[in-house]
Amino acid sequence: MEKTKITLVLFFFISFNLCSQRGETGDKTFSDRFPPDIENFISESFLILKNTVDHDIIVVIRDQYKKYVRHVYIRNREKYIFKNLPITRIYVQFKSLEFYFEERTVTVVNAREKHTFSFFYDASQEGNYFRISEEEFFMP
C-alpha cells in the first residue's frame, strides 16, 4: 500500500513538471533568432501590451523601417510593458497559435508618451490584422 502511494505521488510530480513547459510573460523566447533589443533611455516612452485572448502570443515590435526593436512572450490574460522605446513609428507583429500577423495601423512613439495595445480577439477573424510569413516575422 505504501509503495502505491509513493508511486502515485511521484507520478503526480512528474506529470506536473511535464505540463509546465509553457513560458512566462516577459521571456525572450526567440532571442537566438533576433538581434539585440533596441532601447532609448532618453525617450522615457513605453508601450503596454495586453493579451486578453485565450492563448499565449509572441509579440515583435518593429520601427518605421520595419527593423527589429524588441520581442516578448505574453501569456493569455496577462500584460507586458516595453519601456524606453525609441522615438519612431511602431509596427506590431505577433505569433498567434501557428500563424503570424501584423497590425494594419502604425503607432507613433514620441518622447515621454504612454501607449496601450490590446489583443482582444482572434486576429484571423478580423480585418485589423493581415497575415505575414514566418520569414517576415523573424526578419532582423
Domain borders along the chain are: 24-137
Task: Give the pLDDT band (50/70/90) at residue 128.
Answer: confident
Task: Identify the residue with better confidence: 11 or 49.
Answer: 49
Domain covering 24-137 in this structure, CATH number: 2.60.40.10
**Residues forming a β-bridge with 60:** 71, 93
CB 60 within 8 A of CB 31: no
Q: pTM of the full predicted structure?
A: 0.79
Which pLDDT tens digit goes with each residue over 23-49?
A: 899 899 899 999 999 999 899 999 999
